[in-house]
Amino acid sequence: MEPELLNVVDVEATCWEGQPPPGQVSEIIEIGLTVVDLAALRRVGRHRILVRPQRSAVSDFCTGLTGLTRREVAGGVPFAEACRLLAAEHAAGRRPWASWGDYDRLQFTRQCRATGAAYPFGRRHTNAKAVFTDARGLRKRPGMAAALELAGLPLEGRHHSGADDAWNIAALVLSLARTDDWTEAPAAGHRP
């Protein structure tokens, strides 16, 4: 059986309890990626890319939320290199991808435009939160942790860790695929 691979992506970005300090903007500092084989109905790869911020600093609030420290992300790669790695090592431009909501897609779009980095993904993005909500007949779109609870799945690892959240979102995608409720977006999606 030919694998039907899907990249499930979750990002963490610099954040603050209130507004960003003057001159700072929210930037991706971690990219979590879990590869799902939809034909075999299993997770087949788990990846993490740390990204060094250029226009912001990791706040104490951000460290408390994500577990990521200034020192840790200082050892990450520049954003443009992270985008190149996604395309070269994870087939991001060819493979369909999914995230929990549209935040991740929009953050990549904003940051690529602001920095001139090449947008790494193709046009087939699926909002897994919307698919889950529709499949469950819910009125309100739940957060990832609430969706795991609704699906009877454990939250594995640390919530707000990009790598762990991508792993957990992949479990939700697989739960939808097992009941034939997973529907990917058509190829005519957004392109920055």
Predicted confidence at residue 154, as pLDDT, reads: 98
Residue among 147, 154, 149 at smallest CA distance from 181 = 147
In a domain, 184, yes or no: no
Domain span at residue 89 reads 5-178
> Which whole number is the average pLDDT over 167-188?
89
Question: For residue 145, what is the domain's CATH number?
Answer: 3.30.420.10
The rounded distance, in Å, linking the Cα atoms of 169 and 155 is 10
In a domain, 48, yes or no: yes
Per residue in 66-120, pLDDT (tens digit) is 999 999 999 999 999 999 999 999 999 999 999 999 999 999 999 999 999 999 9
Domain count along the chain: 1
> Which whole number is the average pLDDT over 123-142?
97
Per residue in 140-155, pLDDT (tens digit) is 999 999 999 999 999 9
Predicted confidence at residue 184, as pLDDT, reads: 83
Q: Is 80 exposed, middle or buried (0-12, 13-18, 19+ CB in 10 A)?
A: middle
